[in-house]
Structure 1
Amino acid sequence: MSAPFGGALEAGRRVPWQALSAVAVVAGVAGLGVRHWPVLDAGADRLVVADREWLLLAGLCALLTWVCAAITVQGSVREALPVRRVVAVQFAASAANHVLPAGLGAGAVNLRFLMRCGLAPGRAATALAVRSTAGAVVRGALIAVLAVASPGVLRLPSVGRMPLLLGLAGAVAVGCVAVPLARRTRVRRWLACTVADVRGVHENPRRAAALWGGSLMFAAMHTAVVIALVRALDLPVPAGRVALAYLAASSAAVLLPTPGGLGSLDAALAWTLTAAGAPAAASVSVVIGYRLLTVWLPLVPGLLVLVGLVRQKSL
């Protein structure tokens, strides 16, 4: 069994625990929502009287996030993908991502789509891994730049270099021991194919630009949604601080396996916006607006598109 399939089986065994974690977090968020309903109700009321032009801009940026996601998928493979279909798949994948925990929905939809386009399962999984890595690198670089430009917004605990290096070395050692000798040859072959695919993508300037430029624009469009909502509510918070607050919150939310970061992203975003200088009640309004534009309003249409793509055998 190849390494990608082995990883898929291991992920499958962990799904029940991830599902239980997701249910626990969602239940906790629901309990907090009931307890603090007056704050949520006031936050929704603020959105009703918010600036319409900024709200429209936020909605446009939300729509562009799916276009940017499609660009990153195209940039992760050497083959040309059907443009309209890959955009539709990203719209459907975002809906699936809010149903299953830890990004399993979007990953499964994109994996199936790439396989339908003729890629072998291993190559399709590699493409998604390359795409995720590029997104994480871009997000980390943006956080680093914004943290320098807006000092004091993030206060992270200091970590010594030696413990970090020892931890990385230990992880590598454990990984080497954990791989059975019989599978090491297959792992080496899989790594060789992975390196060849990554090299092939980056040898094509258009594909490399789509991968990295699309990842940058994807993060920028999600950030722009939050900035536009802050402006719609007339909050006196600089755009750089808002961007840093969103990027930090979305990165931290990945640590909890909830569907679409439900609960984890909401709490982290509200906290980071408050730390950036926004009033706590107004931060709740921003979170509500962000969720409406990126999750709740497109959820049903996205699921309908998903059903249509399955019926057309595009997935």
Structure 2
Amino acid sequence: MLPEDSEKGRTLSARDQLLVVIDPVARRTDGESVRIAKDVLGAAATVRVCLPDGPEEFAKALVKRGARRPVVIGDDRALIRAVGVLHRERELTSCALSVVPVGAAQTLARALGVPAGAVAAARAVLEGVERRLDLLVDDRDDVVLGELRIPPVVSAASGGGAAVDGHPWLRTCQSFVRTLAARPSRVAAAPGPAPARLRVEADGVLVVDLDQPVEGVFLTPGDGGFAEVEVRRAATGSEAAALRVRARTVTVSGSDFRYRADAVVTGPIRTRTWTVRPRAWGLTLPDRP
């Protein structure tokens, strides 16, 4: 039996019942926007608020949501985490996810069509419509919602962040060594990123092999069950044209490459395969013609 709203004297539908999961980063960084979003949602729906302390509690709240529509208040990482949880639980097809972006990282949410501002985003949760979107899933069962890119290799001499991700002590040592070794009259400029040697296959067809250095590889979920793939070859003599294809499955292999999927950097790895899942997940967005 559906719960009844005693003030309005009406029976609440499943759409009126929300599980609002507030990411801890959002609570710390912008409590005022969180409060505004809660007020807007609570004025028009029955809201159960969950305040998880970490990823485990965040996942548990989504899994045990019952018939309530899940709403995430948080940044891009919170949105990615929510889609990943629902995908691993095989529940993406049974619900539409909603998000109110709060926090510094909102690029992905904006690109997907979520309005800016706590009030506009909360109203879209209440008044919007579900739109089914394609999803990239890799061979580890991780998901990609937006752009995936494989950057060129960064040499140790260039001090690029991709080579030292997650190791502050190594960045400090490199900085110290560069300071001691700096001799402008004798030392040449540090080399920039070197082209990567990668093998890229799209639906089993070879796009580029290890003998053709590339400046980068880009994948995005397109529409109709295909990923948009762009391979930027390293220029040799004249500017090399980018190769663009559409594929359902993309495999990239090479020697210890890293990639950035949405907001997360992964690697180094030697091979990875991504497969498009057509219309795999639903996001509540403003109802626009």
Same fold (TM over 0.5): no
- Normalised TM-score (structure 1): 0.20
Going by fraction, where is strand more abundant, 1 or 2?
A: 2
User: TM-score, with normalisation over the residues of structure 2?
Assistant: 0.21
Bigger RCO (CA 8 Å, 6+ sep): 1
Kindly indicate which of the two structures has a greater share of residues assigned to helix.
Answer: 1
Larger radius of gyration: 2
